[in-house]
């Protein structure tokens, strides 16, 4: 995420435009003092990532704080086994 500069800049501007200053301070403490849209976007995305990983970790009743979610693709059949 750190190297996705243009995406983080876009996100920083988007979040600043669409969320209240109170919401932004909850999501990314110090948001108002960040100087660039890159910093702002990265800070909010970091909070989003942490929330997602916590949901699948400690929120998923596991014995770990953070876990990476994996998308379930559903059932499928092999035409043959090797």
Confidence of residue 47 (pLDDT cuts 50, 70, 90): very high
Which stretch of 13-17, 34-38, 41-45, 68-72 has the lowest confidence by average pLDDT? Answer: 68-72
* pLDDT attached to residue 68: 83
Look over the chain and give the mean of its residue pLDDT values, rounded to a whole number. Answer: 90
CA distances from 16 to 24, 32, 41, 42, 50 (A): 8, 9, 9, 12, 20
């Amino acid at each position: 995420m750190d190297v996705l500069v243009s995406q983080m800049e876009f996100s920083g501007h988007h979040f600043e435009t669409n969320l209240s200053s109170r919401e932004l301070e909850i999501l990314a403490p110090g948001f108002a003092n960040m100087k660039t849209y890159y910093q702002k976007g990265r800070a909010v995305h970091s909070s989003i990532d942490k929330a997602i990983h916590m949901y699948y970790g400690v929120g998923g009743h596991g014995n770990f704080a953070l876990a990476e979610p994996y998308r379930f693709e559903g059932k499928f059949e092999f035409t043959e086994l090797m």
